[in-house]
Amino acid sequence: MPGTDLVDRVADLLREASATAIEPRFRSLGAGEVAEKSAGELVTVADREAEALLTTGLESLTPGVPVVGEEAVAAEPSRLDALAADRVWLVDPLDGTANFVGGSPDWAVMVALVVGGETAASWIWQPLAERMFVAERGGGARCNGDPLRTRPRAASAGDLRGAVLTRYLDEPTRGRVQRNLSRFGTITAGRHCAGVEYPALVEGDTDFVLFWRTLPWDHAPGTLLVAEAGGVAARPDGSPYRPGPGGVGLVVAADPPTWELAVGLFDD
Residue 18 to residue 50: CA distance in whole angstroms: 7
Domains and CATH numbers, the chain: 4-147 (3.30.540.10), 157-266 (3.40.190.80)
Share of the chain above pLDDT 90, in %: 87
pLDDT band at 171 (very low <50, low <70, confident <90, very high): confident
Residue 55 to residue 10: CA distance in whole angstroms: 11
pLDDT of 191 reads 94
119-161: pLDDT as tens digits: 999 999 999 999 999 999 999 999 999 999 998 877 799 999 9
Q: Which residues pair with 187 in a beta bridge?
A: 162
198-254: pLDDT as tens digits: 999 999 999 999 999 999 999 999 999 999 999 999 999 999 999 988 888 999 999
Q: Summarize the confidence of residues 73-84 as an average pLDDT.
A: 95
- Return all residues near 247 (Cβ < 8 A) that are at least 6 apart: 214, 235, 241
Q: pTM for the full model?
A: 0.96
pLDDT of 268 reads 81
User: For residue 1, is pLDDT > 70?
Assistant: no
Burial of 149 (0-12, 13-18, 19+ CB in 10 A): middle
Cα–Cα nearest to 204, from 183, 184, 229, 223 = 229
> b vs e for 38-64, b when ≥16 Cβ sit within 10 Å of the residue's Cβ?
eeeebbbbbbbbbbbbbbebbeeebee
5-23: pLDDT as tens digits: 999 999 999 999 999 999 9
pLDDT of 2 reads 76
pLDDT band at 50 (very low <50, low <70, confident <90, very high): very high
